[in-house]
Amino acid sequence: MGTLTPARLIPPGRLIRRELEERGWTQKELAEIVDRPVQAIAEILQGHKQITPETAQELAAALGTSAEVWMNLETAYRLALAARDNEKRAAAIARMATIHNLVPIPELLRRGWISRPRDLQDLEQQVRGFLGVESLHFVAMPAVNFRQAQAREASPGALLAWLRRVETIARQQKVPPFSYSALEAGVPRLLDMAAHSTYIPRVPQTLQDLGVHFVIVPHLQRTYVDGAVLWRDDRPVIALTLRHDRVDNFWMTLMHGIAHVVACHQGIHIDTFDDDAPTAMHESPDEHHADQMARDWLLDAGALATFVAEARPLFSADAVKRFAAAQARTPDIVLGRLHTDGLLEFDRHRFLIGRVRPLLQPWIDTADPESLGSTKRRDDMCTPEPAIPTLATETWDRIVQHKGRPFNTKTGKQFTYSIVGTSVKPNHTERLIGKSDFARAWQMMPIPGPAPLRDIVQGPAYVWAILNDPRIVSVNAPA
């Protein structure tokens, strides 16, 4: 049952004033009687000063009442004041809790999607602007297809915030009208880019040329999402998180999203999530269908079955690379499939799996430190990856010419290398270092050591040693 709150709060001082009027006393007289300063009595009568137990006893003696009367009146008055003030504070706390339950405010602040609010009203206004709604009581969500690595309890609020950021970035992109037939016809062209990692920077612009928005927004905590597909203005939006910084995961997630579009899957609505929604999202027939389409696109099922039968149980690195070459795919994709299907331990041949983030860096959403809270995407985020650097023919020829010769790393470790196609294979590792790795490193030379190359190339210590050797650098160097 609720507590009744009086419409008007009557301080005990008003009752004391009535007692004085009945007796014809002034405030000064009461002050003299109880031996208190006149100012103190005036503040009690105005309700500015509380009645203490000592004052209550003095008033009781002067006015012929009990001390409890004045203490009870004072306590009731102060409680009513606190209730009135706390009611406003409780309402503000409830509003703040509603906003924090709707979206992960700390994450939005950390990424600069909203700025540090001045007060509650400012926070509410910023969140409404971020979500693109007039009221936080109703937030409509689009239908979405997600790809998750495993079924985990996702936060609807975190998913909502991530998707809104994706929509904001997609809104900044200008893409031509979308056609299902054009996308389906363009799938082979996209798959041709799976032959080598250096082609990955061309993927985003190729998708946009086909009328598909391409967005990368790093995942928020408790989203557990690799990618998603949604629609905006009759155009699909393929969004990735790159939470697994691996080439194989990139291709599987990308083709999974394209499969959703080609298969006309309708998606689910986040605002209908219940306790079983994350599991249902992960195990839906549409997700299984998209997964199978992506798997079949990336590797021919029949050829893969033959390869598995012939190469198991060892699956040597050379066998993986030969099959990948036959399929015109990077070894990452083949190895990722073997790992995912449980045919090979996850720690086997990890050197074959490359990073994808450095290849797509211009497309990855980052907060702009000069405009915190702005949802405007930087212009350079919407430009394709620069042309892949090339290595001068004479430099590569000298690298080939010096195969089998001794070289020294920065730490003094001696090694030799052989040439496999257009790759260098150091004698101390199974790793193949492509000509493109040397081309990327060559653009950064001279550098004092291999550290700056660690996120750029395979085998940075070997690449640095070779490109810093006088026999390679100097045209007139002795053979």
CA distances from 89 to 92, 94, 382 (A): 5, 9, 45
CA separation (Å) from 391 to 148, 436, 439, 443, 451?
39, 7, 5, 9, 21
Q: What is the pLDDT of residue 310?
A: 93
> Crossing angle, helix 120-131 and helix 156-172, to 10 degrees?
60
Q: pLDDT value at position 114?
A: 93
Residue 305's pLDDT is 94
The three-state DSSP-derived secondary structure of the chain is CCCCCCCCCCCHHHHHHHHHHHHCCCHHHHHHHHCCCHHHHHHHHHCCCCCCHHHHHHHHHHHCCCHHHHHHHHHHHHHHHHHHHHHHHHHHHHHHHHHHHHCCHHHHHHCCCCCCCCCHHHHHHHHHHHHCCCCCCCCCCCEEEEECCCCCCCCHHHHHHHHHHHHHHHHHCCCCCCCHHHHHHHHHHHHHHHHCHHHHHHHHHHHHHCCCEEEECCCCCCCCCCEEEEEECCEEEEEECCCCCCHHHHHHHHHHHHHHHHCCCCCEEHHHCCCCHHHHHHHCHHHHHHHHHHHHHHCCHHHHHHHHHHHCCCCCHHHHHHHHHHHCCCHHHHHHHHHHCCCCCCCCCHHHCCCCHHHCHHHECCCCCCCCCCCCCCHHHHCCCCCCCCCCHHHHHHHHHCCCCCEECCCCCEECEEEECCEEEECCCCCCEEHHHHHHHHCCCCCCCCHHHCCCCCCHHHHHHHHCCHHHHCCCCCC
Edge to edge, what strands does the sheet with 213-216 contain?
213-216, 235-240, 227-232, 143-147, 268-269
Does the 12-98 domain belong in CATH 1.10.3720.10?
no
Note the pLDDT of residue 111.
Answer: 92
Quote the pLDDT of residue 408. 95
Tell me how many degrees the CA angle 291-295-301 measures, rounded to the nearest 5: 135
The pair of structure tokens assigned to 405 is: 């010769």
CA separation for the pair 200, 190 (Å, rounded): 9
- Euclidean distance between CA atoms 159 and 224, whole angstroms: 9
pLDDT of residue 372: 30
pLDDT at 388: 46
Residue pLDDT tens, the chain, 479 long:
444 444 467 889 999 999 999 999 999 999 999 999 999 999 999 888 999 999 999 999 999 999 999 999 999 888 888 887 788 888 888 899 999 999 999 999 999 999 999 999 999 999 999 998 888 887 777 778 877 655 567 888 999 999 999 999 999 999 999 999 999 999 999 999 999 999 999 999 999 999 999 999 999 988 888 999 999 889 999 999 999 999 999 999 999 999 999 999 877 644 333 333 444 445 678 888 999 999 999 999 999 999 999 998 889 999 999 999 999 999 999 999 999 899 988 888 888 889 999 999 999 998 543 333 333 333 333 334 444 456 778 889 999 999 999 999 999 999 999 998 778 899 988 778 888 888 888 877 888 888 888 767 788 999 999 999 999 986 544 44
Going by C-alpha positions, the residue among 383, 391, 388, 419 that lies closest to residue 403 is: 419
Do the Cβ atoms of 155 and 146 come closer than 8 Å? no
**Cα-flanking dihedrals φ and ψ of residue 146, to 5°?**
-105, 155
pLDDT at residue 148, rounded to an integer: 66
Q: Is 25 exposed, middle or buried (0-12, 13-18, 19+ CB in 10 A)?
A: middle
For residue 415, which phi and psi values (nearest 5 degrees)?
A: -150, 165
Q: What is the pLDDT of residue 145?
A: 84
Spell out the domain ranges in the chain: 12-98, 143-298+358-363, 301-355, 393-473
- For residues 222 and 356, the answer to whether their CB atoms sit within 8 Å is no
Q: Which residues have a Cβ under 8 Å from the Cβ of 381 and sit 6 or more positions away?
A: 169, 362, 363, 364, 365
Per the structure block, which two tokens stand in for 260?
A: 């959703």
Task: State residue 475's pLDDT score.
Answer: 53
- Cis? peptide before 446, omega within 30° of 0: yes
Quick one: tokens of 96? 């703040």
